[in-house]
Amino acid sequence: MRLHELIAATLPAVGVALAANARPYPPPDSHLQSTNFLDHESYLDGLDDHQWYLDNIPFIDVPDKSLQDVYYYRTSVTKRHLEWAHEGHGWMVTEFIHPVSWASKFQTIPDSAPHHVVELRWLRNPNYVKDLIEQYTRGGVEKLSGISYTHYMHRAMLEHAQATGDIPFLTSQLSGMIAMYNLWNTTIDNSTGLYHRIPLLDAQEYSLPGYLVGGPGESPMQEWNDFGLTAAQGGGNDYALIRDGPETYRPSFNAYMVANARAISTVASLAGNDSLAGTWSDYADDLYSRMEDMLYSDELNFWIDVVEGSNLRCEGRQLIGYFPYRLDIGTNETKLRGLEAGLTSEHLLTEYGPTTLEQDNPYYTEFKNTTNCCVWNGQSWPFSTSVYLGTLARIARDGLSDIITPAFFHQEMSKYTRTNYKDGVPYTAESHYPTIDMWSGDTTNHSENYLHSTYMDNVFTNFFGIIPSLDENFVMKPLVPPNSEWSYFMIENLPYHGSLLTLVWDQDGTHYNCAGDSSAGLSLYSNGTLFHHQPHLGPVNATLPFDTATAAQHLASKPQWQNILANPNVPWAGYPNVSTSWCLNPDGDDC
């Protein structure tokens, strides 16, 4: 159904609805029964357009008010970055609110797009993410603009389906996923079989490889402020090379490509093409083997960068070494011990960390030595921290480490929450100083409310421990603090597999009054009906009380209303473009 098909019938109703500050059309999940245990309006103080939040976000109520406040702020960040392109393309999600010249079509930027997919999968309107996904799979972003920034978009598509249960949509993207993947063939080195990219296009300029080759004659840089000095005088730094970095085999990029290939294999299997699934699984395994052989340092017991061509090994812990585990890559015990070793105050841990380069590295920079916004040799970046937290959560919830424990995860999640503040109120910019309470990448009319990371997803999948899957079970391994600190919490109207779930933890049964259904303990509701209860807060593995395939398809079949008033033909962002043949200037003359 399209809005213009019913425009005559709907316009009067739209006028009435807007005057009443309500929605002009029903949300896609209006057929579902929601719960209303919480006073939703009370959580929206200071936010505009309350109806959007009432229709779209899961509401949370928790004892940690900082986490709660940042959560609602980050839902507003998500809302700010939703941009309608036009009919036929639908919704896009931007990284910067203000348009930037290096973005792709409709201001999407590939490095942050997977973060957007896994973050927005928790909104109740399923069309935001599906439109974004199809911008990539239909060839409208990288095919038109050319490949630019590395990404784990294929893996994110799979994770989206694990939350929504919409397998038909996922399998319908298979050919586009393969075409997307093959666009990156130009970045494979035939001798190593690995993918290479300059760190700038792995979204991390001013990172370690650039410093190791940015001195005179591509030697390591010795001194930063050598402007005006000749090479004989100790100068001659190549600052462009330091910034962009050399072509590099990176554990982040190659882990993305392993995860993306495995995602294609899974989707092919779901589509019934076992031969294709086997081909992509074999390719992923071979790529991982090559990655492990070349990019894993036995000396550090850690993933490292290797410069393409010279094979220079960049011995030093960078936070990207925690990326593979988040993508289920390199999860054996030896590599787990290596991840543990970096988690000290000498290496990656700071008050507003983790740092992007370990602190005992000679190129670690606590305070930026350039006005460039983007420095990845020490600054704390939410982009990376949100991935790092995903790794910690996977290890902690499975009890695999005496160091990466639930308590350690709480510590790091609390740091991340604390970082998402400025002047005492929730705020997200680009990068943060690792040791002081100040954003280091925070340019006016550019960095504000930056969407280059996840937070909602960290709350749901890491902190509350929800483990989305494609099957009929709801699995949860919560990492919330002990009962003495967290005697209650609620997640209300969380979209999952075409249903709305509400999770209520009430240790003694006195904090919430949930229509008389719940008692002391953990209670789970689906579309308003209690379907699971247990007395203690712990792991959950409960069969969902509905056919998930039917529920997901019922939601997917709902009309997607379109905004036909958008103008995508304006440079960069597609904002409305007004022209006039006459105007009145302050002097009273014609303009």
Nearest residue to 327 (alpha-carbon basis) of 255, 242, 249, 409: 255
Nearest residue to 223 (alpha-carbon basis) of 210, 232, 236: 236
Half-sphere exposure of residue 568: CA atoms within 13 angstroms, side-chain side: 15
- 301 CB-near residues (< 8 Å, 6+ apart): 334, 335, 337, 338, 341
Neighbour count for residue 4 (Cβ, 10 Å): 12
Residue 367 in this model has a pLDDT that exceeds 50: yes
Q: Which residue has the tokens 């105007």?
A: 583
Nearest residue to 80 (alpha-carbon basis) of 52, 59, 60, 58: 52
pLDDT tens-place string over residues 157-195? 999 999 999 999 999 999 999 999 999 999 999 999 999
| Both tokens assigned to 366 | 């606590």
pLDDT tens-place string over residues 532-564? 999 999 999 999 999 999 999 999 999 888 766
Residue 214 in this model has a pLDDT that exceeds 70: yes
| Both tokens assigned to 269 | 């299997």
Q: Would you state the pLDDT for residue 574?
A: 47
Q: Which residue has the tokens 């421990």?
A: 465
Domain boundaries defined on the chain: 3-174+464-556, 188-262+272-315, 335-463
Q: What is the mean pLDDT of the chain?
A: 91
| Both tokens assigned to 393 | 């959560």
- DSSP run (H or E) holding 491: strand 488-496
Phi, psi torsion values for 140, nearest 5 degrees: -85, -10
Q: Would you state the pLDDT for residue 365?
A: 94
| Both tokens assigned to 177 | 């996923």
Question: What's the whole-number mean pLDDT along residues 53-68?
Answer: 98
Phi, psi torsion values for 5, nearest 5 degrees: -70, -25
| Both tokens assigned to 586 | 């302050």
DSSP label at 188? B
| Both tokens assigned to 34 | 């929601």
Q: Would you state the pLDDT for residue 7?
A: 33
Q: How far apart are CA 286 and CA 195, in angstroms?
A: 13
Q: Would you state the pLDDT for residue 477?
A: 98
Q: Would you state the pLDDT for residue 235?
A: 73
Range list of H helices, 398-471: 406-419, 456-457
- Alpha-carbon Rg for the chain in angstroms: 25
pLDDT tens-place string over residues 230-253? 666 667 899 999 999 999 999 999
Tell me, yes or no, if the pTM score tops 0.95. no
Report the b/e string of 238-249 with b at 16+ CB within 10 A.
bbebbbbbbbbb
Q: Residue type for 161, please?
A: A
Residue 279 in this model has a pLDDT that exceeds 80: yes
Q: β-strand 305-307 against 313-314: which pairing, if any?
A: antiparallel
Residue 490, classed as helix, strand or coil, is strand
| Both tokens assigned to 290 | 């090559």
